[in-house]
Structures are given as structure tokens and as C-alpha cells.
């Protein structure tokens, strides 16, 4: 019987060949633009997957635990293949640019965290980057010409920083972790009010009715650009 083909075969080839440019191109399609921290996610993901030597077909063979919700995480998702959709991405809201990648069969893992001196040293190499970042990203301002210059410059930086030695960018630890259980399969239920389908684990029983969290009112956990919080309905 031939080996089942899977959609990540070209990614795995790039991981084995340490084709960081090719992996960065793939991450570009997910993230929408290139910046140094997408590149850091690519490099961390490539290193971890090569070190663990485990392919990932999206069946939870590999788990990635990210500690931030910034550009870095998109590089991690693309290279490792661990996403929210395939239940292999875990978010710890620590605000650290770090990831732990682990293989399920034995819990062997690699954790990489960006060195605290990396960003200032990186910005010192590109003196035009910080003022543009402040205006375009922090202040949400800038002329069309400045925005064009920003994207052009940060794409160039992200590619150039692929050549920076990994040990200058990351602190790296080899770990053994207790793996989370496989994601459960939940029954689907219908909300008695809106009629929409939902996971049984998210249903609310109220006055002998089965309600979704929106129709039940109250607060619902959400993940957005500010981190994990609560949204009221």
C-alpha cells in the first residue's frame, strides 16, 4: 500500500532542506505581509520541526504551544502545521514571543523564546525601521508613500534576518512535556431560540431550553488582539 499523500509534503521538504526563503514565502500568503517577527516564527518552526524529526499531517501528531498572539505565531502555524482548526495549536496568554513544539508519541519538545536583546540590536541595524513602525503600526498614520516604504523595508529586513544566527535570536531549551489529550468529538445540538447548530459542550441549559451562549446572554470568552477576554451578549 502506498503512503497516503498529504498537503504538507512540500513544506516538509523545505524544512528538511532548511529552505527558510521558501518557508517565508509560504508564511507570506497566510500573514499578508512580511515582517521580521514572521521570519522569526518561520525560523523557530523550522528548527523545532527538524529537531523533532516528526511529520505533521494535521492529526495532532505535533502540538505547538504559543505564548503570544503576534506576527510570530503565523510563522509558527505555517511551518509546523499546528493550527486552531486542527486542534494542535495551544495559546498561553503570557505575552512572550515564544513557542514550545512537541511530538505526541513521547512528549519530546523544543522551546524557543526570542532573546530580550534581539529586537533592539535588530532595529539598530536598520535605523529607518523604528520611526516607520511607530508611524504606520503604532499611530496608524502615514502617507501612502510611507506605507509603501514601510512594507518594502520590513519585507527586506525579514529576508535579511533569515541569515542571522539562530542563537543570536533565540534562547533554546530541550524539554519533555506531558501532552494534552486528543481533542474530543462533541455532539451537535440546535439552539432552541436561533436554531443554529453548536457543539454540545458550549450549550447552555436554561428554563428547560437548550441555548447557544449568545441567546443565553452573559459573557463569552474571546481571543482578539488584546489577548483573552470576555465579550458580553
For 169-203, the pLDDT digits (tens) are 999 999 999 999 999 999 999 999 999 999 999 99
> Could you say which DSSP state residue 200 is in?
G
Cα 133 to Cα 151: distance, rounded to the nearest angstrom: 10
Domains of the chain: 9-176 (3.30.1330.130), 188-232 (no CATH)
CB atoms closer than 10 angstroms to residue 202? 11
Band the pLDDT of 225: cuts 50, 70, 90: confident
More confident residue, 7 or 114: 114
Closest CA to 46 of 178, 156, 153, 170: 170
Band the pLDDT of 3: cuts 50, 70, 90: low
Write down the pLDDT at residue 90: 96
Task: Please compute the mean of the pLDDT values over residues 73-99 and round it to a whole number.
Answer: 96
158-162: list long-range contacts, CB under 8 Å, 24+ apart: 158/24, 158/34, 158/35, 158/36, 158/38, 158/39, 159/21, 159/24, 159/34, 159/39, 161/36, 161/39, 161/40, 161/122, 162/20, 162/21, 162/24, 162/39, 162/42, 162/43
Percent of the chain with pLDDT strictly greater than 70:
98
Task: Please compute the mean of the pLDDT values over residues 31-44 and round it to a whole number.
Answer: 97
Cα 50 to Cα 15: distance, rounded to the nearest angstrom: 6
What is the average pLDDT value for the chain, to the nearest integer? 94
Task: Please compute the mean of the pLDDT values over residues 152-176 and round it to a whole number.
Answer: 97
Q: Quick one: cell of 47?
A: 528548527
Q: Is residue 1 predicted with pLDDT exceeding 80? A: no
Amino acid at each position: 500500500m502506498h503512503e497516503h499523500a498529504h498537503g504538507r509534503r512540500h513544506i516538509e521538504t523545505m524544512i528538511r532542506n532548511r529552505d527558510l526563503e521558501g518557508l517565508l514565502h509560504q508564511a507570506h500568503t497566510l500573514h499578508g505581509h512580511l515582517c521580521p517577527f514572521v521570519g522569526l516564527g518561520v525560523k523557530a518552526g523550522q528548527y523545532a520541526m527538524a529537531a523533532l524529526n516528526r511529520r505533521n499531517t494535521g492529526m495532532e501528531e505535533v502540538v505547538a504551544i504559543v505564548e503570544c498572539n503576534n506576527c510570530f505565531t503565523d510563522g509558527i502555524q505555517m511551518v509546523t502545521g499546528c493550527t486552531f482548526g486542527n486542534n494542535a495549536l495551544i495559546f498561553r496568554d503570557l505575552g512572550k514571543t515564544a513557542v514550545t513544539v512537541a511530538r505526541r508519541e513521547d512528549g519530546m519538545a523544543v522551546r524557543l523564546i526570542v532573546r530580550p536583546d534581539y529586537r533592539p540590536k535588530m532595529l539598530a541595524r536598520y535605523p529607518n525601521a523604528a520611526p516607520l513602525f511607530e508611524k504606520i503600526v503604532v499611530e496608524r498614520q502615514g502617507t501612502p508613500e510611507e506605507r509603501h516604504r514601510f512594507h518594502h523595508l520590513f519585507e527586506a529586513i525579514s529576508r535579511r534576518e533569515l541569515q542571522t544566527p539562530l542563537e543570536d535570536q533565540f534562547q533554546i531549551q530541550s524539554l519533555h512535556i506531558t501532552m494534552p489529550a486528543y481533542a474530543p468529538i462533541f455532539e451537535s445540538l440546535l439552539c432552541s431560540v436561533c436554531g443554529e447548530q453548536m457543539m454540545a459542550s458550549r450549550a447552555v441549559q436554561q428554563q428547560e431550553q437548550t441555548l447557544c451562549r449568545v441567546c443565553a446572554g452573559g459573557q463569552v470568552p474571546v481571543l482578539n488582539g488584546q489577548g483573552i477576554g470576555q465579550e458580553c451578549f
